[in-house]
Amino acid sequence: MSTYFFYLFIFRYLRLVVNLVSFWLFYRPTPVPSRPSLRPSDCTVILPTVDPTNPCFEECLLSCLINQPGVVIVVTTGAELTQITRPIVSPYKQRFPYTKISVKTTSVANKRLQIAHGLEYVNTKITVLLDDNVFWPSARFLPTLLAPFEDPQVGIVGTNKRVRRTEKGFNMNSFWNMLGALYFERHNFELRATNAIDGGVSVISSETSAHRSRILTDPEFVSAFTNEQVRFGLLGPIESDPDHFITRWNVNHGHKLKIQYSTDSCIETTLATSPSFLSQCLNAARTTWRINAAALFSDGAVWYRQPWSLYAVYLTFFVNFALVYDGVLIYTLMESKLNKDPTALPYLIRWILFTKIIKLTPYFLREPQDLLMLPGYLLFAYFHSLIKLYAALTFWNTSSATESLSLTSRVQAQAQAQTQTQARPAQPVPRDNRVNALQQPEPPVVTPRPRPRGRPRTTLTPSIETDNLVVTRAGTQSLDSPPMKKKGRGRPRKNA
């Protein structure tokens, strides 16, 4: 029993100790070069959405445009949603003229198909995938995200993520919100630590990720991406897990993966603040069962390209049931000779609790008031073992909780289309204080040159495409108004 205890203890906690050292000592984000070869104008941002009326959508689009990408392609579904999306996007075209913004349409609400459709219009070196509930708080987000691509072998770059704390206080909504934030905190820890050791990661999330366009626009990739099968080809094409597929594709084709973990490359997102968070956990666990099995037994590249991640990410996942593993550790200790020391069991319990908290230190330094709900988090960590077990028994279910919620939002948006006008008038975009109080850039204004007296004045207004205005040298004229009459010069001549 002593031997069993030592084997179980070392297998579980060697990963933690090495990852802690890697996280704090080995990892370094790629610095932004003074003369980069890639700039934000070299980026095409693909933004799939099925709910453009969601308030998060406009904030997401605004935070993206502040970073001045070259192209933004919003991909929605159906004619109704397209009619809703275009008037929402139109004011931003006027406010950010240096970015080409377009709205494209697919026939079905399928994130993979929406991304693939957007790829048809990509002509830049870098493609950035962005979810419509994700925000870029920093105006230097894109330059920081592009820095790792100075290495020509890097094919995909991910970020560190945070869940926006929309609920505060000691209540259930705040508790669910905290669970989502802690989930991302643990994920950030794992990504940064393993990426620093062997370049491996569990997944680079498509919530925001940057890619070399030549990889994603390859017809072979697009075909495989939109026709992935699971269960030995018995089920598919599947609609979920696009980020896992793209990550595996890069690994299998020899491209480097980089996590850009820094303040400027941090993204914010929103998660459910209700028990529906459990559905998201269930679908995430199902995805991990499918993807880890495929990575180990179908692809196989991780066995020789990412040896540390093979142990710390893939193999560990299959046995990492906290409720079972901790119970077996305690049992083997109590049945071993080590239990002769009365302090052995208390020390083991303290160690187990310590290891569950140490990864979360950065979060609780930012949100110390959430320490009151820490006992609830520890209980949920053990309850998650049951969720993970149920996910293993139902892993063939490829539906996504996020996509289900999105489909519901799509139906609601289509119902709203009956009451909304097909094209609402352009309105000024309000300043959003939630984007880190960033000063939003205004369109360039060209000051008229002074003309000699007596010559007709000419207003040099920048060319702006609008729905009902025409910009001429004589001024701005509405299409619906009668032609302007040319005014004479000087005082009117009196009748003789």
Q: What is the mean pLDDT of residues 267-295?
A: 83
pLDDT of residue 184: 92
Check pLDDT > 60 for residue 42: yes
DSSP secondary structure letter of residue 466: -
Q: How far apart are CA 276 and CA 219, in angstroms?
A: 37
Check pLDDT > 80 for residue 299: no
| pLDDT averaged over every residue in the chain | 81
pLDDT of residue 468: 37
Non-local CB neighbours of 90 within 8 Å, separated by 6+ positions = 426, 467
Q: Using DSSP, state whether 45 is helix, strand or coil.
A: strand
DSSP secondary structure letter of residue 253: T
Question: Of the ranges 135-144, 269-278, 335-344, 428-437, which is most confident?
Answer: 135-144
pLDDT of residue 471: 36
**Between 360 and 430, whose confidence is greater?**
360
Q: How far apart are CA 216 and CA 380, in angstroms?
A: 38
Check pLDDT > 90 for residue 37: yes
Check pLDDT > 80 for residue 154: yes
Q: How confident is the model at residue 457 (pLDDT cuts 50, 70, 90)?
A: very low
Q: How confident is the model at residue 477 (pLDDT cuts 50, 70, 90)?
A: very low
Q: What is the mean pLDDT of residues 270-284?
A: 79
3-state secondary structure the chain: CHHHHHHHHHHHHHHHHHHHHHHHHHCCCCCCCCCCCCCHHHEEEEEECCCCCCHHHHHHHHHHHCCCCCEEEEEEEHHHHHHHHHHHHHHHHHHCCCCEEEEEEECCCCHHHHHHHHHCCCCCCEEEEECCCEECCCCCHHHHHHHHHHCCCEEEEEECEEECCCCCCCCHHHHHHHHHHHHHHHHHHHHHHHHHHHCCCCCCCCCEEEEEHHHHCCHHHHHHHCCCCECCCCECCCCCCHHHHHHHHHHHCCCEEEEECCCCCCEEECCCCCCHHHHHHHHHHHHHHHHHHHHHHHHCCHHHHCHHHHHHHHHHHHHCCHHHHHHHHHHHHHHCHHHHCCCHHHHHHHHHHHHHHHCCHHHHHHCHHHHHHHHHHHHHHHHHHHHHHHHHHCCCCCCCHHHHHHHHHHHHHHHHHCCCCCCCCCCCCCCCCCCCCCCCCCCCCCCCCCCCCCCCCCCCCCCCCCCCEEEECCEEEECCCCCCCCCCCCCCCCCC
Q: What is the mean pLDDT of residues 146-170?
A: 92
Q: Using DSSP, state whether 227 is helix, strand or coil.
A: coil
Q: How confident is the model at residue 188 (pLDDT cuts 50, 70, 90)?
A: very high
**Which percentage of the chain shows pLDDT scores above 90?**
59
Q: How confident is the model at residue 496 (pLDDT cuts 50, 70, 90)?
A: very low
**Between 496 and 156, whose confidence is greater?**
156
**Between 212 and 396, whose confidence is greater?**
212
Q: How confident is the model at residue 267 (pLDDT cuts 50, 70, 90)?
A: very high
Q: How far apart are CA 326 and CA 335, in angstroms?
A: 14
- Quick one: fold of 2-415? Spore Coat Polysaccharide Biosynthesis Protein SpsA; Chain A (3.90.550)
Check pLDDT > 50 for residue 427: no
Check pLDDT > 50 for residue 429: no
Q: What is the mean pLDDT of residues 386-400?
A: 81
Q: What is the mean pLDDT of residues 87-95?
A: 94
Q: How confident is the model at residue 173 (pLDDT cuts 50, 70, 90)?
A: confident
DSSP secondary structure letter of residue 235: B
pLDDT of residue 294: 80
pTM: 0.78
Token pair recorded at residue 198? 């062997």
Q: How far apart are CA 207 and CA 204, in angstroms?
A: 9
Check pLDDT > 50 for residue 97: yes
